[in-house]
Amino acid sequence: MSRLQGKVALITGAGSNPGLGYSIALRFAEEGARLAISDINEETLRLCETAIRKIGAEVIAFRQDVTSEPGWAQAMDAILSKFGRFDVLVNNAGIAIQKPIEELTLADYERQMSVNMTSVFLGTRAAIPHLRKAGGGSIVNISSIAGLVGIPGVSAYSTSKGGVRLFSKTIAIECARDQIRCNSLHPGIIETNIQKGSLTDNPEQYQAIKASVPLGRMGSPLDVANCVVFLASDEASYVTGTELVVDGGWSSM
């Protein structure tokens, strides 16, 4: 398979497995991309790097704090030094602070915004000059259904993810003439280790969560990764400034 053959891509937050960044990185490798992967957890990141090498793809891996402006400059330097070009940025790294508003501290709020929103700004700004030199490219910013509809207990998270959505639309307009596409992707309830834990800890809640999804199941990281492959590929050459919702119909209710 070669939908991303020869494209050079950076995927942030690629260390967690099962996780979105990990799955996206492997799917990119399967589609022929040359990869840079980063995470703040270097130990888990190396496991992703090993899995990519087993597929046979070129990869570099480095620790990255996505809230650090100098760190983004270093990431771009490492990619260009290794591959000589840059084509795709997937801003995936993020955290979720889940507290009702009365319990949410200013430090919580600022941390949530820094990791989920400021990092997307920093990464996008750092990438654009290099995408322009390549003659265009794709930026995929991972948002959430919480960036589309209100969900109790995640006010700061929703704010950050809603910001990612509208930031992506603005960048799409600003960069369209340079053939740089920018889209946001909005996962719903995805089956991760945290969700799997509830199967043991609270089987009734687990079944209730699954039943709340019109398609009758939680999504897998692969469901999300396949959609990111599409947005990064030339198949999506006329797709920019949009949000792609991957939630089994949940937000349509």
In b/e form, how buried is each residue of 217-226, taking b as 16+ CB within 10 angstroms? Answer: ebbebbbbbe
Residues near 94 by beta carbon (within 8 Å), at least 6 away in sequence: 13, 115, 116, 119, 142, 160
Distance separating alpha carbons of residues 13 and 21, to the nearest angstrom: 5
Q: Which two tokens stand for residue 157?
A: 């998270």
Distance separating alpha carbons of residues 39 and 166, to the nearest angstrom: 25
140 beta partners: 90, 183
Burial of 195 (0-12, 13-18, 19+ CB in 10 A): middle
How many CB atoms lie under 10 A from the CB of residue 3?
Answer: 17
Q: Which residues are catalytic?
A: 157
